[in-house]
Structure formats: C-alpha cells, structure tokens
Structure 1
Amino acid sequence: MHQLTLGMIILQFRDLQAQYVQYKTQIDAAIQQVLLGTNFIEGKEVKELEVRLADYVGVKHCITCANGTDALSLVLMAWGIKEGDAVFVPDFTFFATGEVVSYCGATPIFVDVCQDTFNIDPTKLEHAIINTQNETNLTPKVVIPVDLFGLPANYPEIEAIAKKYNLLVLEDGAQGFGGHLNGKKACSFGHAATTSFFPAKPLGCYGDGGAIFTNDDQLAELLRSIKIHGKGADKYDNVRIGVNSRLDTIQAAILNVKLDAFLQHELNDVNRVAQQYNHSLKDSVIIPVIPNGYYSSYAQYTIQLKTKKERDYLQSQLKQHCIPSMIYYPIPMHKQLAFSQLQFNNRDFKVTNQLCNTVLSLPIHPYLTNEDIQKVIKIVQQNT
C-alpha cells in the first residue's frame, strides 16, 4: 500500500484503510471470535474459507497455505519437479513465478508475452518448448501461465499446446482471483492453480496467505500432507518430507469477511473505476486490453506510454500532484541477477523489454472516489 498526503487529502494506490473502516465491525468481531476460541492454527475458519473459495472458483478442492509463493512451490513438489526438468514461465511477471522453479532444482525457461494483454504468448511458448526439446538436455514438464494484473491468460491455446507436448499446466492466479474467461473463473484452469492473499491482491488478508485449487483428488490429498510436514494420519505421523505452510486462523477469519465484500461489490466497483479510466484515457495513452470473453479483476490498472522518457515524466508529474503510481516490472525475468547463470538471447524478449520501459500502473481499488478518479485522469491527460 502506497500513500501520499497533501494537507488532509489522501490518495492511496490500494486503499486498505477505507476497506477496513467500512467493514471494521465485522472484521473485528471475526478476529475476536478466533481470540476467544484460541484455535489459532487450522481452526474452523480455515476450513470454512476453503469450502467457500472452492465453491466460488468452481473446483473440488481448495488447499490454503502460508503464501502465494509456497502455493506454487507445493504444487511443484507434489508433481516431483526436479533438476533436469524445464518449466516455462512468462518473462514479464513477478520474480516468485520463476524463483519457485529454481528452488525445486528445475530450470525456468522464460517466454515473451503479448503486447496487448501482458500475458504469456502461446506462439512463443510453443517455440520455446520445441527449442528446449531440440537444443538442451532438459525435459519439458510444466508451463506456469500468469494471470497478470487481473486478466486470465489465454488458456484455450495454452492448454492445447500443453496437451500436445504432454506438459502440466499450473495457473499462477496470484493477481487473477475474480477474473474469468468465457464464464470460467480464474484459478480453475490447468491441472492446478494458485493464488495469493497478500494484502494488496484483489482478495487480500492482513499478512501473508495463499491457496491452491484443483479437481485432482490425489493431488489435493498429497498437498494437504506436504504443507504440514508430510503428515499421514496426523502431524506426528510423518510419511514424507514436507514443509510448514499453513494459513493462520485469524487470516482466514479476515478473509471470510473480505470475501463477502469482494463478491457483493468490490469486483464490480473496481471494474467501474477501470471503465472510467478507459473512457477518459483511451486517446492519451495505451489502455489495458480486455479481449472478448475475458473479465479482469484489475489487480492493477496498467497503461503503456510510447517511451521510457514519456513514462518516467508522467510518473514524476503524478508524484508532484501526490498521486501514487507503480512500475510493474522494471526488470524482466531473464535479466534478473539471480538467473544470470542461465543463457538467454535478449532478442527473444522484444515485447517484455519494451514493456519494462513503458508501463505504468495507476491507482485502482474499489474505494476510489469519483473525485480522485478525475484527479488522476486530469494529470494523465495534461502530461501525455
């Protein structure tokens, strides 16, 4: 959450305070119930949340865990992904999506994205799979599409490619929760999907949290074991090597309240803000593209400028008027120092390289007032 002040005027990038003020009574009561019950780990609120989330997404199983990064790692662990395996990841995304691949010993293969949607390019994905098969000793195993900024990736094409090359699909829906494609909810695609409850996400808690979604009964059972030290009948019966990755009961209680708000109005309200931006900014900047059949949860509202100079100038002008903005992401995955041991051709990432220099995310959240929306619009129009 980023906050800038001018006198008594406050404009926040993602206004968690306004949300809390509106739902303070319900949130405080939910926390108090957990405190009185003293069941702080794996309490009933966790199970209630898992059932509600699975029902909303439209899958059989929801397994909560400590954070969104763990969610990805747990699935890769359950699938036995290891050294010598190749996992395909978009080049334009948050570091965690590639990090978890290296963490389990496998090799991330970065793939350029589409200019309009920011999501992994299916054509380039297939080229990367073929190149990996023909030019390396790696075995292609998994593709991890990311629902960037709230927009689901192109799963019809991605899943067809994955089936053709016998790959597993792990949807990274950390930013995508609430979005959908042809009526099918984000976090229901692929063989498994994950999301994050980091506070600034479309559905966020007051700390870290994450979840995994799947229709695979065996995978769900395995994940529930791995996330609690590889437990069998109970946590003292350890049948495999696992980790400690559980969602706190207090966070689940908070999420149960916030899920009500999300379903009742927040998703609609954030799209209302995006529509106002779209209408007023379409002639000034490149606005986000939502293809036919898609619906975004707008984790971010990300515009494109023509050059880095124009982007940086607009950001400086917004800052002067106490309007926060963010650059997601300034460094592509293939240029991150942590991946410097991997060999990539910079020319294979033309779109990502451009986006890192030209994107800018504007304030967006369900509690943004019309006055603040117009303030942002005015400054963007005046400086582009």
Structure 2
Amino acid sequence: MFSGGCGFLPGGGGGEETDVAVENQETAPPDIPLTAVRPLPPVDMAALGLIPPILPDQRLRQIQPGRTNPFELIPVEARIRESVCQIDSPKSGDANGAKQDKFQGNIPTTTTVTSPSPSTSSTFTVPPSSVPPTAPPPLFPNDARAVVVSGIIEIGNRPFAIVQAPGEPVARNVTVGDRLSGGRVRVKAINPFAATPNVVLEQHGDSVTRDVGSPALPPLTPPAPPTAASSGLDTDAAIEAFGQGFAQILGAMAQEMSGAVTNANQAANTTRTVSLRGPEGDGIGYGEIRNLAVLRLAVNERGGNLVNSVGLLCNAGQETLEVRRLTFQVEDATDNTILDSIQIALARPYFLQKGQKLEFDGNAPRFRGRSPQDVIVKLVDWSSEQTQTAQNNN
C-alpha cells in the first residue's frame, strides 16, 4: 500500500507564493587621498649602452634616394695618371753633366702663424736647414730575387710552382697568394703558358719575375752616400783623375818630341757630341716602353764612328727597374721609313726607383751611310740582361 501527501506533487497544495524584493545596492569606491606624483628622471640611453629609437620621419630624411633606373650604367670617374717623367728642354752640356737627377718636392722654409684674436697676429720665419734631411735607405726585393723556380705543374686547373726560397731548407709547392721566406715574399702570379713559364713574386711593393730554371739573382745594394770629407770625390775618382792628367802630360811631351801631328790624325782624335732626333723633337723625347722613358740621347762622334752614347733615363712606374740594354728603331726623318735598329749596351746596370732620373752612358754602333741628323730614333724595347757589345740587327 502506498500513501503520500499531495504537497510534493506539482500543482499540488494551496500555498501562496511570496515575492521577495532584492534591492541592488551600489558600492561606492573608497576615497583615495590625492598626492603629488614625482616625474621620473630622464634616462641617458647612450650611457646604458642602448640605441635610442629613430622616428619614421627622421629615418626617411636620412635615406638617400636611389636610382630610378636599375639598369642604368654606374658612372665611373676616370683617373688619369700624370706621368712623373717630364721632358726637360735640352741644355748645352747636359749630356756630360751630373749622373743622377731625382725629383724633389718643394720644401717650405717660411711658416706664418696667426693668432685667433682679430686684433693681434704674430709671424715667425723658420731658417732653412743647411743639412738636407737624410732619406731612408731603399728596400730591395733581394729575397724574391733569390727564389729559384724548378718547375710549374697544374692540379685541377690550378697552377702550382715548385720553388726553393731563401731561409727555407727544402723546396715546396706554392700557388697564388702563398708566402715565402717567413712571409716576406708573396706569390703574385703563376704563368705556366707563357713563352718562358715564370712566377711573379712581390716584396716591398716591387714585382720580380723568376723564370723556370733560372739561377738566383745577386742581391741589390744601395750606393754608398758621399762623405763630407771627400768633398764629392772618392779615392778611386781622384786616382783616375790623376792618371788621366799624367797621361795627358806624357802625351804632350811625346808630341813635342816627335814633331807635329798630321791633320788626318787630328781629325780622327776629335770627339764631337751629336744629339739624336727623337719623335718629340731634336734631342728630347724618345718614347716610353714598360714604364721606362728615354728623355735625352746623344752620341760621341769620333772620326765618323759613333763609339759612345749618353742620355737620360726616367722610371715612370711604381716598381724598381734594372736596365742594362736599350733597343732603338731608326727611321728616315722625311718619310718615317724604318731603316735599321740599334742596341746600346749600357756601361753598367742602372737601378731606377719610382720617379727617378739617371744619366747613362754606353756603347752604340755607327749609322751605316746615314747622318744622325737625317734619322729619327725611337725606343722600342729594353732589357735587364747583360750583353758584351752593342750589336746591329741588320
């Protein structure tokens, strides 16, 4: 049997519903007392190692506008190298003058100092020094000259050279960029397909070409500076001058004892210096080949034969040049027809530094059936190889 009340069923019971009103009460915020806020001190971002921000407008002002056409050629400023070998006007006696002529810059001897105050100024003069400053000794590529190249091989389309360098006990393989002799010599280039395979070395800014199988070259030494006690004349020069004077005295005595000399012998013993004509004019400018320029050229004419030549060389490049032989082309002065070529063997090797001028002398053959005034002489080649005599090519 189930029994229960109806109060638990929905809709059952007669109880009344009571509405309870809930009032929404707003909570007021607490009162916060107003106090003065201290501003933060400025921060030096550079002192803290921070990079300050850059505003967009400021950055746009810093950007340089680019090219409108990306395919436009970039203009390249032409750099014209001014030659250091200036042709001097020929002067009488220049052919037998000083043996060395170098470029020297203008050294100011007076200095003016002005005070920053607009009302006062002071000026003082520095007296010129009586003793010229001593130039540092030149550096010669002696280590590069002593390198011996025994062969050149190619491995993987890359040339290697077998070299024996000074200061190294054994020979080794090197390529372009390697260094020798404790880092003093750098391998600048390897030319396996040249007429004579060679290796180009660099030391002290000078390039030295060493052929395969060539022996080591002797070291270069700077000339000894003249001393003040000798007054520009050394012992050998004094002895030579004394010997020449004594020989002249003996010759004069022999002429007085033997009688008069015939006119033919007098003409044969007469020496006359004749300036040769170059492309630039009479007596000046004979061309420039591989940074070597011949500025003056003359021959000593004795009895119709050209037995001696003198002139002026100039190094127009950046590297030291060693000159032992000059080759000239002889052209007709009227129609520029090539007539002959002559070689002048210099009396000694001449070493020219950058921008240096040197007087030279050497042996030259005579012009066959031609007067020196009827031809034009032009420099076509020079060499550092030593020759015994000047030979005529024809």
Q: TM-score normalised to the size of structure 1? A: 0.23
The structure number with the bigger radius of gyration is 2
**Higher strand share goes to which structure?**
2
